[in-house]
Chains A and B, each alone.
Chain A
Amino acid sequence: MIVSQQKPLDEILSELDGISRVFLIGCAKCATVCKAGGEEEVWQMQESLTAVGREITGSIVIDEVCHMLRTARDLRSRKEMVDEAEAIVVLACGAGVQSVSATTSKRTLAGLDTKFLGNIKRLGQFEQKCSLCGECLLSRTGGICPVTVCPKSLLNGPCGGMDNGRCEVDLESECAWKMIFDRLSDRGDAERIKKTVSAKDNSTRRQPGRLKLDK
């Protein structure tokens, strides 16, 4: 899921300079799990903004704000409250913010910083394991992603900074290539990484991504 984190209140307030009436939007999916934009956080944001003299014209938690049609429909159902506001603060990922900005001419503010596609390790703890490279290599690397787990995205083995199997960039973390090597060795498949992997085709991750299913 998409991992996001609330922006510092000061930053949100500086964007709200001169604006007194605000409509709030949260997301019932990822932002809820990240405790960044669920019912609870929308409520807290309402409290915080009210405390500094803003009027909240209304709020809604949409069941996945990245769904553009649903977001447009749900906002129509709150039309009066939205119309009354001078700005909308969206507590959802960057995709969600853009679903909102596409449906309204109101000033739309991002209340969250969107971090990465993450796995949930345990409650409140997330880890990036895939960086959406567009052409997955996991079948060849023991199911551990060198593109993401290695900060340098190296495809042919560890860099010279590997320190006793730890990563030079963060000594708390194991080197991705050490993990791949151990995993494949355990499965008797370490030979697999002896083959040189050629340079990645970065055209597979060109932005903005688009995908249209045939049927």
Chain B
Amino acid sequence: MMSSFQAKLESNTFVITAEVSPPKGIDCSDFLSISRSLAAMVDAINVTDNQGANMRISPLAAAALLVREGIEPIYQVTCRDRNRLALQSDLLGAAALGVTNILALTGDFISFGDHPQGKPVFDLDSVQLLNVIAGLNNGKDMNGHQLTGSTTFFCGAAASPDAEPLELTLIKIEKKAAAGAGFLQTQAIFDIPRLGRFREAVSHLPVKVIAGILVLKSAGMARYINKNIPGLTIPDHIIDELADAADPAAKGLEIACRFAKEAAPLCNGIHIMAMGREELIPQIIAALKP
């Protein structure tokens, strides 16, 4: 069954996705109520995989709970914690539970999280993982053994339009596209001209681009992110804007709305990372309307 998220992207419908973190624990009621409240206004809910190497409930379980609610998840799978057997095994499980969208990621290094003593796995990298998923979609495991039934995953990959050197980043993105990534979810966007250049640079690839929009709360939070979250850099002028605002939380929402609005015409969708303030997502979506 083709995911409806995929069908929308492939018919060039503008999509909106939102990120919701599964809980650290077994009580999924908040996770589910936030997801339910967003379900009607987003096309899919992105479920993070032990984000920032912090141990949480399995994204497979969380994604399956969403499927049960009739909500379409994008199941994030990182290479950090599972070897090739565990990855394939989880992916087959996800398919059987009705999960159709995957975001295949390398994963933040283990030292950033709450179990820095753990053994980092990285048996595969994100390109290899995408190739493995293409194989599963073809009814074969990564060693070519026949599966009972094929998966029908629609896969995406991460992209960092700000990363330097861009040429090097693009080499990897080309590999991801060749391995079957149908969409690229970008890191948080704070530089629209750069997003434009990036869009141009990947225009020859058969991939849709979904721009990441981050909702900030304060200058302190922005600085914390810069220091502790790899791959995410909030520029100084944005931090200043937050620092100078009388109401930084409202300013953060305003900034998110601004970038969502400016990024939208350059891409196929936006992905909102509200970082715990998911109740603001409707306002960002409203800002997209002309």
Query: What residues of B have a CB within 8 angstroms of the CB of A193 in the complex?
Result: 171
Contacts from B to A (Cβ < 8 Å): 79-80, 84, 105-109, 111, 120, 122-128, 131-132, 142, 158-160, 163-165, 167-169, 171-172, 174-175, 178-179, 187, 230-231, 233
- Verify B123–A202 contact, CB threshold 8 A: yes
1/0 per residue A151-174: CB within 8 Å of B? 111111111111111001100000
Q: Which residues of the other chain, A, contact B158 by a CB distance below 8 angstroms?
A: 160
Contact partners of A158 in chain B: CB under 8 A = 163, 168-169, 172
Query: Quick check: B122 and A153 within 8 Å, CB to CB?
Result: yes
Contacts of B142 in A (CB 8 A): 199
* Top 5 A-B residue pairs of the complex, sorted by shortest distance between their CB atoms: A157-B172, A161-B230, A168-B230, A156-B127, A160-B231
CA distance A71 to B170 in the complex (A): 54
Q: How far is the CA of A198 from the CA of B123 in the complex (A)?
A: 11
Q: In the bound complex, do residue B109 and residue A169 qualify as a contact, i.e. CB atoms below 8 Å apart? A: yes
Sample (11) of A-B pairs whose CB atoms are under 8 Å apart: A151-B120, A152-B106, A152-B125, A153-B125, A161-B108, A161-B231, A178-B165, A178-B168, A181-B168, A199-B124, A199-B132
Given known contacts A157-B175, A162-B160, what 20 new A-B pairs fall within 8 Å (CB)? A152-B80, A154-B125, A155-B125, A157-B168, A157-B169, A158-B168, A159-B106, A159-B126, A160-B106, A160-B159, A160-B160, A160-B231, A161-B109, A162-B169, A165-B165, A168-B108, A169-B230, A193-B171, A196-B127, A198-B128
- The range of chain A's interface size is 20 to 34
What residues of chain A lie closer than 8 Å to B164, measured between beta carbons? 164-165
CB within 8 A of A177: which of B108, B160, B168? B168
The distance in angstroms between the C-alpha atoms of A32 and B123, with both chains bound, is 35
Does A194 belong to the interface (CB within 8 Å)?
yes
Please give the distance in Å from B284's CB to the nearest CB on chain A: 23
Q: Shortest CB–CB separation between residue A67 and chain B, in angstroms? A: 31
**Chain B residues with CB under 8 A of A152:** 79-80, 106-107, 109, 120, 122, 125
**Residue on B nearest A156 in the bound complex, by CB:** B127
Min CB gap A177→B, angstroms: 6
Contact A160 B187 (CB under 8 A): yes
With A165-B164, A196-B131, A199-B124 as contacts: A157 and B171 at CB distance below 8 Å:
yes
Tell me the bound Cα distance from A156 to B187 in angstroms.
Answer: 19
The reply to whether A154 and B122 form a contact with Cβ atoms under 8 Å apart is yes
Q: Which residue of A lies closest to B122 (CB)?
A: A152
Complex: A200 Cα to B142 Cα, angstroms: 12
Q: Which residue of A lies closest to B109 (CB)?
A: A169
User: Nearest-CB distance from B218 to chain A (Å)?
Assistant: 22
A199 contacts B230, CB within 8 Å? no
Once bound together, how far apart are the Cα atoms of A198 and B122, in whole Å?
Answer: 13
Cα distance, A152 to B127, chains bound together (Å): 13
A199-B84 CB under 8 A given contacts A151-B120, A156-B175, A178-B165: yes
Q: Which residues of B contact A177 (CB under 8 A)?
A: 168
